[in-house]
Amino acid sequence: MNPDEPKKNLPAPAAKMTLEEYKAKYTRPQNYKAARLFLFLFAASIGVIVFTCLLLIVLRIHEINEVAGYISIVPAVAAFGLFYVFPLVKIHKLPAFQTNVDQRNARAAQIHNRKMREDIADHMIDFAAKTDNVGWYDESRIGKLAVARQTKDNDGLRLALTEIYDQDVRKMADKLIRSAATKVGIFTALSQSDRLDTAIVAMYELNLVKDLLYLYGYRPSEPRLMRIYASVVRDSLIAYGASASTPAILHSLTDNLAPSLGILGGILSTVIGSTSQGLINGALTVVIGVQTKRYLRVEYRLQDLLDGIELEGEDEAVLMEEVKKDIGKTIREGKKKPKPQE
């Protein structure tokens, strides 16, 4: 098991535990500055991959036809903005639950997470009303959510929201993953271009992540989002390698095994190579979709557990932290005051 991830079999939200038990099981020291740095680097790497692939495609078209090359700049720029810049902005605008806590910030995290649940519930209710639901959510579950929101029933809202995530959102997430994986598989099987394959995988996977996060209404913590971006970079490089090497390997095999096939052997190797590339890239897309969904589910369960923890015994630690801040502020202000002249 990856030591950086919480256990998959999390306790039921109803199970009570102390903050110390929660910390021992589900929190660990994390370097958020390093996570943000690598998050930026991996996000930038995806941009470099997409930009480079699109640029090489434009240059190739320009070699074939100068006018067509200039014209292709417009769709290339549009693709970069629509499939890289836009989803990246949407992802980072979403809030994240606070689940890696200690005595100093546990209560603030509970307040933050509760506000997030209320905002998510409002978004779901509003979406169901404005779009006639479009089959995303069960009407009875949305009704329960609306009643809990109107009556300010925090426990009822938690239960209704958890039920929607476990039933409706999970099914819709699986549909999004299947749809994206199918498109990636078909497009990369037909493209016959390592550059285009790489761009397709990077752009479609990033947009799948964006769609899943929008569906759930929040994003994972920065360390987990960093791992998702790293997976997109890895899959793009795998797609490039598969597209560049698979046809040559298959041509060699068909030439050695069946030299009498001639042209038919070349056609057969092309078909098999394209199909295998499509299957590989489709499978990679499924994996990153499942990874994203798992991270979202883990963080929702953790914030649910944290919300059920009584923090009455932690007030002393919170007050001591506030006292330390007050003392430090007073000392700093005292140093700034000019000394009276004698």
Q: Give the residue-averaged pLDDT of 239-247.
A: 71
3-61, pLDDT tens digit by residue?
455 444 554 444 578 888 888 888 888 788 899 999 999 999 999 999 999 999 999 99
More confident residue, 38 or 133: 38
**Dist CA 39 CA 33 (whole Å):** 10
Q: What share of the chain is helix, strand, coil (3-state, %, to 5)?
A: 80, 0, 20
pLDDT at 191: 84
336: pLDDT confidence band, cut at 50, 70 and 90? low
Q: Give the residue-averaged pLDDT of 104-117.
A: 92
Structure token digits, residue 29: 């020291």
56-67, pLDDT tens digit by residue?
999 999 999 999
252: pLDDT confidence band, cut at 50, 70 and 90? low
Q: How does the average pLDDT of the chain come out, rounded?
A: 84
**Dist CA 13 CA 159 (whole Å):** 9
3-state secondary structure (DSSP) of residue 7: coil
The answer to whether 180 touches 203, Cβ cutoff 8 Å, is no
Least confident piece of the model among 114-118, 243-247, 262-266, 290-294: 262-266
**Residue 90 CB burial class (10 angstroms; 0-12, 13-18, ≥19):** middle
pTM: 0.81
> Max alpha carbon distance in the chain (Å)?
108
- CA atoms within 13 Å, Cβ hemisphere of 213: 27
What is the number of other CB atoms lying within 10 angstroms of the CB of residue 89? 10
Residue 96 bridge partners (DSSP): 219
User: Alpha carbon of 43 to those of 53, 188, 195: distances in Å?
Assistant: 16, 22, 19
**Residue-wise DSSP of 184-227:** HHHHHHHH--HHHHHHHHHHHHHHHHHHHHHHHTSB--HHHHHH
**Dist CA 213 CA 219 (whole Å):** 6
pLDDT at 342: 46
Q: Is the pLDDT of residue 210 over 70?
A: yes
Least confident piece of the model among 22-36, 78-92, 157-171, 268-282: 268-282
Structure token digits, residue 172: 């819709």
Q: Is the pLDDT of residue 317 over 60?
A: no
pLDDT at 189: 87
Residue 219 bridge partners (DSSP): 96
Phi, psi for 119 (deg, rounded to 5):
-65, -40
* Residues whose CB falls within 8 Å of the CB of residue 286, separated by 6 or more in sequence, listed in order: 177, 178, 181
Q: How many helices (H) and strands (E) does the chain have?
A: 12, 0
Scanning the structure block, which residue is given the tokens 């300010």? Answer: 152
Least confident piece of the model among 31-40, 153-162, 263-272, 322-331: 263-272
Scanning the structure block, which residue is given the tokens 């090497």? Answer: 245
1: pLDDT confidence band, cut at 50, 70 and 90? very low
Domain boundaries, the chain: 30-101+181-319
Q: Give the residue-averaged pLDDT of 87-114.
A: 93
Say how far residue 119 (Cα) sits from the centre of its chain: 19
Q: Give the residue-averaged pLDDT of 296-304.
A: 94
Q: How many residues does the chain have?
A: 342
Scanning the structure block, which residue is given the tokens 């489709």? Answer: 282
pLDDT at 251: 52
176-204, pLDDT tens digit by residue?
999 999 999 999 888 878 899 999 999 99
The answer to whether 302 touches 221, Cβ cutoff 8 Å, is no
pLDDT at 39: 95
User: Alpha carbon of 335 to those of 45, 322, 328, 342: distances in Å?
Assistant: 47, 20, 11, 18
255-285, pLDDT tens digit by residue?
555 555 555 555 555 566 678 888 999 999 9
